[in-house]
Structure formats: C-alpha cells, structure tokens
Amino acid sequence: MKTLADILPAVGATFGSAEANPLGLAGNRDVVVLVIDGLGAELVARHRETAPTLAGHVVDTLVAGFPATTATSLTSLAVGAPCATHGIVGYTFAVPDGDGLRSLNSLRWRLDTAEGENALAAYPPETVQRQPSRLQEFAARGVEIHYVIPGYQRDSGLTRAAFRATGIVHPAATLDEVRDGILTVARHSGTGSRFAYAYFADLDANGHVYGPESPEWLAVLRAVDAFVADLLSELPATCTLLITGDHGMIRADTVIDLESRAELRRDVRLIAGEARVRHVYLEHPDALAAVHAAWAGELSTHATVVTREQALDEHWFGPTPPDSVITRRIGDVIAVAEGNSILVRPTTEAFESTLLGHHGARTAAEQLVPLIANRAAFA
C-alpha cells in the first residue's frame, strides 16, 4: 500500500528526477501539497454528506506510517521516507542528556513537556533529523519553493527538521488565508515551476478538544469541504493540487492512568510518546523481561506491549533498519493502545490527558489518510 512518504518522490518524478512515480502523477508546471491535519480516510468516508467534494475527489488511500502523529508524518512526507530513516520516532522520544535521557517534544521542540525548555539550542533540528528533504532536491532542480503555513511554523524546530529548504512564506492560519496563499503561488505567468507545501490545523484541533465527529469537528470539515470546492474551481490547469492528512483520529472511551500504577514505574527511567503510543526506557538492560511482563500484564487488553527488538523485526517504523542513534530513540518497550483506550500521564501531560480525540496507534482509523487530487494531477 502507498504511504505519505510516496507523495514527494512522485512529485519529484514530475519535476524530472530519475525516481519512480509511485502515484502515477502527470507532469505539470506547479504542484501544491496541502495537509489537512487530522484528515483520516475513514472519517471522510463516513461523512460523505458533510464533505462531498473531499469524498468525491479521493483518488487513493495512503498509510501515514507508525506512529501516526503529526511530527512523524510531516517529516516522512518531507523526507520521502519513514521514521526508521529520519528519526522523528514520535510526538516525544528520548534524547541523550549527559549520562541520562530527556524527552524531546518534536512537535513543539521543547524538553520534558510541551511547555518545557526550548530545545533549539541544545538539540538543533538539523542534527536530530539529518536526512535532506525532497524540497531541497526540488530547489536544486530550479523549482521555486513556497510555504503556505501559519506564521509560527516558519522557523519552528519541526519545520527546520523536516522541510529545510528556504522558500517564500505566505503566512496562513485560516482557510481564506490558505486559499489566497495557494492561488498566489499558482497564478503566475512564468514558465518556471513552483512547489508549495500548505497546511491547515483546525480539523485536528477540534478533533482533539471536542472529539472527532463532534458537531464542532463536523463544522470544520464542512468548511474545509467548501474551501476545497472553491479552490478546485479557481486553480489554473497548470497547477496540480494534492490534498492529504497526516493521520486519522479516534475518540477515547477508556482512560488508563499510567502514573497511578506503581508496577509500571519499576525499573523505568523515562516514559515518552503520547496517549496512543508509549515509549518506555529502562533504568538498566537487565530489567527488559520484567518491565515487558509488567506492562503487558497491567495493560492487558488495553494495549499491545512489545520490545524494541520485536517492533524492529516486524518493521513497525519502516522497512529499512534504523541506525544506532535512531534505534536508541525508540523505547526499550513500546505500548500501543488498542480499541479506543488511551495511556495518559496527567501530571506530566496535563493538557494532553484531557483531550477527547487521539491518534498515533496502528488502527486503520488512525493510519489511513485520503489522497485527494484535482484533474490536473493525472491529466
């Protein structure tokens, strides 16, 4: 099955690279890739009446990749490879700190918590994620790079880690601003090619706070659909538009408080990840069997608990084995929530633990995202 990491290699093929074109895209002067954060394929399919334009223009279904979380998915998109290659292995993951470990929040690029110490100086994004991005390759071929993104993302740690290429930024937080930015990119009389990465956050935000499929979430989905309908009618034929999501979402119905279970803290140095996927790092290697057994027993039917070795043997993070640096970022034990359970840490992650909508795990609801395209993509 095709993945998010296949999109930009396919775009690159239309710009003249020698790589395969896994999506079968047609060549065109300009290409815009728009990520609607939280746009899951199953959610779109269930709400065709609310989003007829989106549902009617789905050309394929892609796998986000594990874990299905924004920082990992956007890096996989930008680099054209899964996280075993690029190393952004979760919402938070362990990084070395002297003789110990600290948790790096890769979405906000902060240490220990989402509001913690800024990590840009201590952990420069370009050293944490060392792979070149596909946007850099496009720029080297003479393609003009544009970003249609919220202003705060311009110099964020994640943008630096994933996208890397310098380009023209069109600050855009609302749908109207995203529309105007995309049309500014696409409406030009030159013969040179342009590539734009565009992003819209509100569907994901409403899903987290109110739950996916809530009235508030559906209102945003309806607005996104109207926006896309207008955009499809306004884009010139010289612009290919590809729309996708970075993950889907589930609504939590069973909350497991990890901090209240003493057995889960024994021999554990650090817990990272997020409520649907937990990385567990040990105090010492000899504790692996005991910690694995304790977590598997305590979480029972609420989560699948595996060792790092098993996850790597089964290629959870991608088909190519990670290098030793990336391997150490993956928990010694990994707990992946099942059903609609969440594994929360209310003290460390106070806000995240209150959310109704979550993602990250291996279910189709979280992993599958639509690929939506205009007619120019395959003309």
Split at pLDDT 50, 70, 90, the class of 194 is very high
Say whether pLDDT at 379 is over 90.
no
102 domain residue, yes or no: no
Split into its structural domains, the chain has a count of 2
d(CA 173, CA 45): 26
User: Across residues 12-24, what is the average pLDDT?
Assistant: 95
Say whether pLDDT at 169 is over 90.
yes
25 domain residue, yes or no: yes
219 domain residue, yes or no: yes
| Residue 365 confidence (pLDDT) | 98
Residues 191 and 300 in one domain: no
| Residue 99 confidence (pLDDT) | 87
Residues 267 and 236 in one domain: no
d(CA 14, CA 214): 39
Residues 45 and 75 in one domain: yes
Say whether pLDDT at 198 is over 90.
yes
Residues 6+ apart with CB under 8 A from 346: 257, 259, 353
315 domain residue, yes or no: yes
Residues 302 and 321 in one domain: yes
Residues 334 and 368 in one domain: no
CATH number of the domain bearing residue 322 = 3.30.1360.180
**113-159 pLDDT tens trace:** 999 999 999 999 999 999 999 999 999 999 999 999 999 999 999 99
**Mean pLDDT, the chain, whole residue set:** 97
CATH number of the domain bearing residue 135 = 3.40.720.10
Residues 59 and 157 in one domain: yes
Residues 193 and 341 in one domain: no
d(CA 197, CA 335): 33
d(CA 83, CA 322): 8
Residues 215 and 271 in one domain: no
Say whether pLDDT at 288 is over 90.
yes
Q: Is the pTM of this model over 0.75?
A: yes
**295-353 pLDDT tens trace:** 999 999 999 999 999 999 999 999 999 999 999 999 999 999 999 999 999 999 999 99
Residues 165 and 58 in one domain: yes
**233-261 pLDDT tens trace:** 999 999 999 999 999 999 999 999 999 99
Domain with 228, as residue range(s), is 4-80+129-248+363-377
